[in-house]
Structures are given as structure tokens and as C-alpha cells.
Amino acid sequence: MRLRPGSALFLLALSALAGACGVVPPYSTVREQELSGLNAVKLRGTVWNNIQIHSEDLTYPFSEPVGYELDRFSSYGIEFERLIELNGAKGYSLTFAYETRDMQVEDTHTPIQGEQIHAGLRRYFGDRALTGFVTAQAIYHQSLDFPGELGLRESDDFFGVGAGAGANLALSAHFTIELYGVYELAPGVKTYKRRIDGSEAPADQEFNFSGPTVYLAVGYHF
């Protein structure tokens, strides 16, 4: 939560204003900026999030859920995109991303750490320099590692889903910048104290992760 979404939107708007000098083609019905090729590779990172974390004690059926406040959140990744036609219609793409993520809960010294693989489908609207899009994603989470303050537990691999929307601005025939938000949901993540009680330790807590995340990405198209 280092950079507010308003700051990221301001930077994106500032880039668009450079079109007045002929650097960035503006969004209009006259001038278009076509992108080169069907493929893209993008570097992305989060600029804002509101991920909510709750846990339930599986050893006591009447326990109340516990909520955790995040002190720090960071996520960085690389994404590959391929434009496709769907039933003969253009404006669609397949995305595949690898991402590392740290979620530091308040009053802990080390973050909850994990890695993710995102596979998604996008639908773009418009063919100008600035286009909007919606996206749906399946998210494969590799095992999470929890800090000592949360019991040195870990999870198995698990699945989540995400959906969102954003905007993509073509800076040239090969480079774009985009800002988009995704609401992610990963319920029922069972955790174990395997680092303390061994590999056969039973699940003792269940975590639920949900909330929006805003990404800023720079892409190269070819």
C-alpha cells in the first residue's frame, strides 16, 4: 500500500497528456496506434490492495473467525499474452502470469510468502491508442509459508479465482502501459504445523483470502 491508486492514475493520465506533444497518440476517433504482433510480455507489480485475511480454528467448531490487518503487501510478476480470435471475433487474448507475493500481517516480523500462477481470458473494447478490457482468471497458489507469529504453519497448494477490469495505453507500436484491478477470492485454505509437528500434522486452521488488487504493468508487444 505504498502508492495510492490515485497516484497511479495520475501517472497514467500524465503519460496520455504527452500526446499533445506528439509523443503518445491520444484516444480519438481519428488517430490510432496499432500494436505490432499478436504476443506481449509484461512486467507488473501491485500499487494498491485491500486483501482481507480471516482464519478459523478447525480444532474447535464454535470458535469465532479471526481477522488480520495487513501492514505491508507486495506482489511482482511477469505476464505473457497472446491475442486470439474467439468464434471469429477479435479483441480477445489469453494471459499467463507468474507472480511472487508477500503479505505481512501487523505485529509480525516476516510476511506470509507464496507464489502464484495466473491463467486468464481478456476481452478488449475499442481499437484506439487507449482501450478498456475486462478479465477473468484462474489462480493456482503454491504452498504458503506463515511466519512464527502465526504458528510456523504452511498450506498445501490451492486454487483461487479473480475477475476485474482496466485500461491499456499504447505508447508506441511495441510498448504499452496498463492499470487494472482484480478482485481475488481464495476460500478454505487449510494450514498445517508441519515445520513443528512433522509432515503428518493435521490441518488446524483454515484461512480465507479475498479482496481487490490493483496492478500497474509495462508491456512489450511483438
The answer for residues whose C-beta is within 8 angstroms of residue 197's C-beta and 6 or more apart is none
Residue whose C-alpha cell reads 498450506 in the numeric block: 155
Q: What is the mean pLDDT of residues 49-53?
A: 96
What single DSSP character describes residue 145? B
pLDDT at 24 over 80: no
Q: What is the mean pLDDT of residues 128-137?
A: 91
Question: What mean pLDDT value characterizes the chain?
Answer: 87
> What percentage of the chain carries pLDDT values higher than 70?
86
Q: What is the mean pLDDT of residues 154-159?
A: 96
User: How far does the chain reach from its first CA to its final CA, in angstroms?
Assistant: 32
The domain spans of the chain are 5-19+47-61+68-221
Q: What is the mean pLDDT of residues 192-210?
A: 90
pLDDT at 63: 85
Neighbours of 43 (CB within 10 A): 13
Check residues 53 and 34 and name the one with the higher pLDDT: 53
pLDDT at 2 over 50: no
Q: What is the pTM of this model?
A: 0.83
The answer for residues whose C-beta is within 8 angstroms of residue 153's C-beta and 6 or more apart is 146, 191, 192, 193, 194, 195, 204, 205
pLDDT at 62: 85
Q: What is the mean pLDDT of residues 183-201?
A: 91
Check residues 21 and 94 and name the one with the higher pLDDT: 94
Which of 18-22, 67-71, 109-113, 137-141 comes out lowest in average pLDDT?
A: 18-22
Length of the chain measured in residues: 222
pLDDT at 12 over 90: no
Determine the Cα angle at 167 with ends 165 and 170, to 5°. Answer: 150
pLDDT at 19: 42
Q: Are 68 and 24 in contact (CB under 8 A)?
A: no
pLDDT at 130: 86
Fold adopted by 5-19+47-61+68-221: Porin (2.40.160)
